Amino acid sequence: MDDYPLLNAFLTMLWLFLWILWFFLLFRIITDLLRDDSLGGWAKTGWMVFVIALPFLGVFVYVIARGSGMGRRDAAQAKQQNEAFQAYVRDAAGTNRQASGVEELSRLAQLKSNGDISAEEFEVAKRKLLA
Model confidence at 49, pLDDT cuts 50, 70, 90, reads very high
The model's pTM is 0.56
State the average pLDDT over residues 42-70.
90
How far apart are the C-alpha atoms of 53 and 46, rounded to whole Å? Answer: 10
Using a CB cutoff of 8 Å and minimum separation of 24, what contacts does 21-30 make?
22/55, 25/59, 26/51, 26/55, 26/59, 29/59, 29/62, 29/63, 29/70
pLDDT for res 36: 87
User: Which pLDDT band holds residue 81 (cuts at 50, 70, 90)?
Assistant: very high
Between 124 and 95, where is the model more confident?
124
